[in-house]
Amino acid sequence: MKLAKRLITFSLAAALSLSLAACGGGSGGSTPAPATTQPAGSSSATEPIKLTMATFLYVEAPHRAVIDRLVEEYNKIDPNVQIEISGAGYADYWNNLTTEILANNETDIMQIYPENLASYQTLREGGAFLDLTDRFNAAGLEGKLTGQETGVYDDKTLGVSNYSWGTTAMFYRKSMLEEKGIDPESIKTQDNFLEACRKFSEGDSVAMGVVYGTHAFSVSEWNRLIARPVSNGLYFADGETAPYTADHLNCNSEANVWAAQWWNDFIATEKCGKLVLDKKDSREMFWNGEVPFCMDGPWFIGMCQEHDAAMMDDIGIIPQFDVVYNGETYKPNPTNFPVLSLISSKCEHPDEAWDFLLWMTSAEAQKIIADCGQIPASIEYASSDEYKAAYPLSALFYDFMENNYTTLIADPAIPEYSELSQVMIDAAAEMFTDTPVDVKPILDEAHDKMAAILGS
């Protein structure tokens, strides 16, 4: 795929990543941080060194509070390094990052999602990001960070999973289910879930908000709940693995067509979902007691607590349900969402930038991150009894991964991903409306468009 051709649609597909979204305040109290240690390569120069960092998370108040705390604590360790944080709204952030990399004036440090790594790395000849392989290996971080394998592209470690990660589950309002006589533990399959949702689908009432239109959630919610568990790949077969060629495309497979038709029926025929333009709308419906269900990740715990701490006693979490298709039961395989931190290949102070990224993997920093309501990237800390005691609801997601979910499947980290994802978003806008439609022709057309993108 020629670079020029990719750039035509790259900005339009800027919001393709599946947003981790905002997290709220702490989900169970904080724990004392250990004493800080001086980074191995901390600055000793007399003139202050300025580092710039861009993150799409910074526009959300809870994330901003945590990131500010990280910078504040790091300044105590190395006061000679000044870190300036910037961020734009979710869509604008990706557009800005594209423009800045092409103009060679991006920030020193950037945070992105794994599925965007290849697209941005290949925007500039020679690579937009610094190769961190030697630094990473020397730090002994191998096997210590969740999702770190997603930070590798072209056999180079470009990103560090040093912030947090999340997967998804189903949140429910206890009082609403109890009123309808529904035991949440009885929701094991998509049919069980549909049966429960039907009890709330009367008149204008629905069971959950469903994001539709041009937002990436219009694909991701259906994909994680129904499609990928049965198809093992929304874009490519065999768990989104290579070969990334037209003959390996999977979007219009029999399983994906069935899953899309089920989701259309859930919305348009069963009237179980209300179409909303943004995820915040479905969250507010949940908070306001308009719907009993909200599919979300561990960050939603903190958001709920920040919205109304008194509401927390009425919130429960169950794992995503199994999907029964053609008489066979498939376990959920929702994507793991780590946030990657990268250093620009144009950074004038790479050692100081690396020291900050390395410090973010420390126990001290990870405990600060836990206050955001998310699961810290450190495997040791996130699986510790200390963490589970301090953040019991968040710890449920770890339990779901071990006991309810099969191998998590990530979107394909290839340069063409942004374009492929935009095709799927366009298809979802046609398929998932409040009108019954035949989804197969739409997915067949999506397949042809994807094949053209891949050069076939």
Do 65 and 152 share a structural domain?
yes
Task: Answer yes or no: are the C-beta atoms of 111 and 90 closer than 8 Å.
Answer: no
Do 285 and 264 share a structural domain?
yes
Write down the pLDDT at residue 19. Answer: 40
Q: Domain containing 103 — which CATH number?
A: 3.40.190.10
User: Could you list the residue range(s) of the whole structural domain that residue 221 is in?
Assistant: 169-334+416-453
Do 104 and 34 share a structural domain?
yes
- Is there a domain that residue 246 lies in? yes
- Is there a domain that residue 420 lies in? yes
- Is there a domain that residue 405 lies in? no
Per-residue pLDDT of the chain (456 residues), as tens digits, is 444 334 434 443 443 444 434 443 333 333 333 333 445 455 555 689 999 999 988 887 778 888 999 999 999 999 999 999 998 877 688 889 999 999 999 999 999 989 889 999 999 999 999 999 999 999 999 999 998 999 999 999 999 999 988 889 999 999 999 999 999 999 999 999 999 999 999 888 999 999 988 778 889 999 999 999 999 999 999 999 999 999 999 999 999 999 999 999 999 999 999 999 988 899 999 999 999 999 998 888 888 888 899 999 999 999 999 999 999 999 999 987 789 999 999 999 999 999 999 999 999 999 999 887 778 999 999 888 999 898 888 889 988 988 999 998 989 989 899 899 999 999 999 999 999 999 999 999 999 999 999 996
Do 200 and 72 share a structural domain?
no
- Is there a domain that residue 400 lies in? no
- Is there a domain that residue 408 lies in? no
Write down the pLDDT at residue 315. Answer: 97
Do 140 and 19 share a structural domain?
yes
Write down the pLDDT at residue 305. Answer: 84
For 330-345, write each residue's pLDDT tens digit. 999 998 778 999 999 9
Write down the pLDDT at residue 2. Answer: 40
Do 49 and 13 share a structural domain?
yes
- Is there a domain that residue 162 lies in? yes
Q: Please give the structure tokens belonging to residue 351.
A: 């050692």
- Is there a domain that residue 196 lies in? yes
Write down the pLDDT at residue 39. Answer: 54
Do 173 and 149 share a structural domain?
no
Write down the pLDDT at residue 256. Answer: 98
For 182-195, write each residue's pLDDT tens digit. 999 999 999 999 99
Do 55 and 66 share a structural domain?
yes
- Is there a domain that residue 302 lies in? yes
Number of compact structural domains in the chain: 2
Maximum Cα–Cα distance across the chain: 70
Do 178 and 120 share a structural domain?
no
Write down the pLDDT at residue 63. Answer: 83
Do 341 and 330 share a structural domain?
no
